[in-house]
Chain A
C-alpha cells in the first residue's frame, strides 16, 4: 500500500507568494519521521525540513515550514515568499521506527515559480 501520497503532480506560484505542497502519509507506527526534499533540475536531492511524530510544534527552517496535522496524517510543506530558485521537484518522505526502516518517498510535486 502507498504510504506517502502527494496528490499535486504540478503546482504554479507567483514569485513572492506563499505556496503549500500537500503530503499525506499512512502508518501504524507511533514513532516516525517526516521529511521534505527538493530536487532541482541538476538532480541532487536537497534536504529541507524534518518533523518528528512526537514533536509538538511545527518545524520551520527559514522560508520553509511544515504544517503537521497528526490526526489527519498530513505533513504539508509551506514555502513563503517564493523565489525563482524554488522551481524544482519536491518530495515528501517518511521513515518509521522499524528495524529495516528505509525511507519511503511520495511521487513528488513539480513546483514552478512564475516571475
Chain B
C-alpha cells in the first residue's frame, strides 16, 4: 500500500534562517506531488506541484522553492524565512486523472519567530 511521510511535524525557526521540509512517498512510482500551505483557520493554498523528477510548477511567487531530486521525494525550501512564512504545510501525492484524490502527509507546523 502507498504511504506518505512528511517531517518534521513542528518547527520553530528564526526570521532569516533557511528551511527544508521533506516529503517522501512509498509504494507507488511517478506520483504527482504537491505542497500546500494553510494559514490558521483558513483554506489550502497550492504552492508547488510536480508531475515528474525535476519538473516543478509554482502557483504563487514567494519566498519558497521546491525540488524533486528523486521520483518519490519532494522538498520545500527557503534560503531566508520571513514571518509571513509561518503556517501549516501539507505535502500530498496522487495519481493522474480526475478520479484520483489526494493523499496527504501529516503536515508540518512552522512558526517563524
Contact = CB atoms under 8 A, between A and B. Distances in A.
Interface residues of B, number: 26
Contacts of A97: 97-98
B43 A106 contact: yes
Given A43-B107, A44-B104, A44-B107, A101 B97 contact: yes
Nearest to A103: B102
A31 B88 contact: no
A25 interface: no
| Category for how many chain A residues contact B | 20 to 34
Given A33-B99, A45-B104, A102 B43 contact: no
Contacts of B75: none
A32 interface: yes
Contacts of A105: 43-44
Interface of A: 29, 31-33, 35, 43-45, 47, 50, 52-53, 91, 93, 95-97, 100-103, 105-108, 110
